Structure 1
Amino acid sequence: MSTTTVRRRWHAAAALVVTASLALSACAREDDGGSSDSASATHEVEDYFGTVELPVDPQRVVAGDGATLGNLFALGVKPVAAAANANSLPHHLAEQMDGVVDVRQGDDVNWEKVLELGPDLFITFAGSEDDAWNKELYDAATATGVPTFGYLYNYVHLEQIEHNFTETARAVGKEDVATERLEALHDRIAELAERVEQAGLGDVPVSVLRVGEDGFRSIRIGTSESIAFRALGIAQPEGQTDPEQFSIDISEENLDLLDSAHTLFVYEDDTGVGELDEVESSPLWEGLPAVQAGRVHQVSSGVWNSIDITGFELILDDIEEYFIAPAEAG
């Protein structure tokens, strides 16, 4: 997988990562006298870059990105701070942000603000298998003296979403919580997959259209919703099945690429309010089989853009409500 593709996925999913210079972090460390004492007990853990020493029971965690933030919440860990803006997070994360300090400063992290909070652990994703594309942020965090954990990150396949979750759990000593949560997720996937098969939905193709600002439109084929379709045995149309392709850019002029979709899920970015009206005014839109049959479902952009484990579970809920249950009801 190319570096460009991974970075594109990162920005397209609105993962909120910030970078900072080593000089800034060093200055903050001098001004504040270093981070607060970590938990008394520490242990050695392997992260993306090697062996790091972390507190066994961290109490004041800082999330360096939105994906880590969501997975911390799912583990029952409320961080003291995050490099994330509550106003741009999915609702299921934003509603948990009370008391979590936003430590962003433009496109950087305000390390002085971080250190004032006395953190004992900073967690963020480090990069993909062949490219540590978030190393600058990782290095800036370690330069402050705060114990830092970076993990291998991706979200093209279900096992990668699970890996992001279990790595975050490993950093905060919540492996047992992660195991229970994933066991429940696997049970739910198995139950829904069986219902898909029994309802004869396995060969009924489903497409997802994302609508954004400034005319941005794309068919989603390599993001969380497509991971859910594949896990449940739900088909996607020909030409929309390669998750490594990530997405297919379209416009009002070639909406007929959605002709083969039996059911269509659509979401409009918060920054693209009103853009869906423009799409729906296209004659090609009115001619789509899914539109004519009333099988178009508008869903939350925040949820369907999610890359945390809770967001994935909420996508499963939508698929059950709008696709599986109606078929079962006849």
Structure 2
Amino acid sequence: MTSVLTKRHIKRSASGFLLILLLIVSACGSKDEPAGQGASPTSAASATIGQPSAGASGSASTAATKKIKDAMGEIAIPAEPSRIVVLDNAALDNLLALGVKPIGAASVAALNEPFPSYLKGTEGIANIGTIAQPNLETIAKLNPDLIIGTKVEQEAVYDKLKKIAPTVFIENVGVQWKDNLKLHAEAVGKTEEADKLLKQYEQRVEKFKKERGTKPSQVALLRPRQDHVRVYLPETFSGAIASEAGLTRPAAQNVKGKQHLSITEEQIADLDADVILWFGRENELAYFRDKIRGNPIWGTLKAVKSNQVHQVSSDTWLSGHGIQSVNLMLDDLIRIMAP
């Protein structure tokens, strides 16, 4: 009897010991369990929402900014932007001249067309649509820290752009190209470089004017269109460059308050000047070739008779709008009109 009781006591003691051991192991296991495991998906998500990673938090708290004034007012932008998207050719031209390569840029007229051939170093720049229709989704995927555009062209999408990244707008391209260069330079921290580029250009202009002296210098700037010829007046980009170089316009083309005149085959005489420079896109040359140059009146023009009709690049004279195109335009004037 005693032996039986002893055996039962031993079994009960062993069972109790095993129970205590299991409880200890279970408690230790819960303490060593990796963070998040065992918690419900909802509670795990709740613990991370609104909590940036240590790296992101540190970056946000240390990123320096600066304030500049653009066509939209005052804006805070990164002090040293490194991922820049540009929405017009003026900004692409100027930034490359300043030694800054954007990560994305807009085509001038057609989607995915090559960037202007006169610009060097565009390899690897992503196409983000056209100047008139930038693709916001493509821009967002590039994760820019600065966007540079033009109020006249992209004001309708400004609010959407600035949700992607701080956005700097010039008012418009054209006669204010020097101010545009200065704003672009300020945005990317290259003001000294811009001042140097402008000084070099102005020295070249003065040299050109000095060499020409009082030589006759009326110039006409023509762009063939599908059903007329557009005459570019002094208050345009190309017209402003010609004027700064000391060149004048014939009376019929010296019109203030307008940018262009539309001339048809009945008005060919109004195209005349000492020198005619023309630039246009290949798909718009038929009217100019057939209706203007094919007309007998064209042969009576002073510039035609003296063999002073010259085709120049539309990439620079029409679409450039930046410091690089300006210097190439001056190259053309020196080649054609310098003594």
State yes or no: 1:136 paired with 2:156: yes
Identity of aligned residues (%): 28
The C-alpha deviation readout for 1:180-214, integer Å capped at 9, x for no partner, is 101101111111111122xx22x4311111112x2
Give 3-state SS (helix, strand or coil) of 1:242's partner. coil
Return 5+ residue gaps in structure 2 as ranges. Answer: 1-51
Match for residue 148 of structure 1?
Answer: 167
Q: 284, 292, 302: which one pairs with 2:305? A: 292
Give the aligned partner of residue 311 of structure 1.
325
Question: CA offset at residue 86 of structure 1?
Answer: 5.9
Aligned residue identity for 2:196:
E
**Map of 1:47 onto structure 2:** 70
Greater Rg over alpha carbons, structure: 2
Q: Is the 8 A contact 2:241 2:326 kept in 1?
A: yes
The question of whether the paired residues in 2 share the 8 Å contact of 1:303 and 1:314 is answered with yes
2:19 matched residue in structure 1: none
Gaps of 5+ in 1: 1-32, 128-132
Task: Say which SS state the counterpart of residue 195 (structure 2) adopts.
Answer: helix
- Tell me the secondary structure at the aligned position of residue 215 of structure 1: coil
Partner amino acid, structure 2, of 1:164: N
Distance 2:232 2:89 in 1: 20
Question: In the superposition, relative to structure 1, how do residues 218 and 163 fare at CA in structure 2: closer, same or farther (>3 Å)?
Answer: same
- Which residue identity lines up with residue 186 of structure 2 in the other structure? R
2:212 corresponds to which of 179, 187, 196:
196
Q: Contact 1:268–1:275 at 8 Å: present in 2 too?
A: no
- Range with bigger deviation, 118-127 or 84-93: 84-93
Q: After TM superposition, list the pairs within 5 Å mapping 1:191-230 onto structure 2.
A: 191-197=207-213, 200-201=214-215, 203-212=216-225, 214-221=226-233, 222-230=235-243
Aligned pair count? 276
What are the residue-to-residue correspondences of 1:36-115 with 2, within 5 Å?
Answer: 40-84=63-107, 85=111, 87=113, 89-93=115-119, 95-104=120-129, 108-115=133-140
Asked if structure 2 preserves the Cα contact closer than 8 Å seen for 1:68 and 1:308, the reply is yes
> Which amino acid is the alignment partner of residue 210 of structure 1?
R
1:215-273 CA distance string (max 9 Å, x none): 231111132332122112212111322353111111122111124x1111122323324
Please, which of 245, 266, 272 is the counterpart of residue 278 of structure 2?
266
Which structure's relative contact order is higher, taking Cα pairs within 8 Å and 6+ residues apart?
A: 1
In the other structure, the counterpart of 2:184 is 168
Q: Is contact 2:90-2:173 (8 Å) kept?
A: no
* Residues in 2 aligned to 1:188 and 1:150: alpha-carbon distance in whole angstroms: 29
Normalised TM-score (structure 2)? 0.75
Name segments (4+ residues, structure 1) moved above 4 Å.
36-39
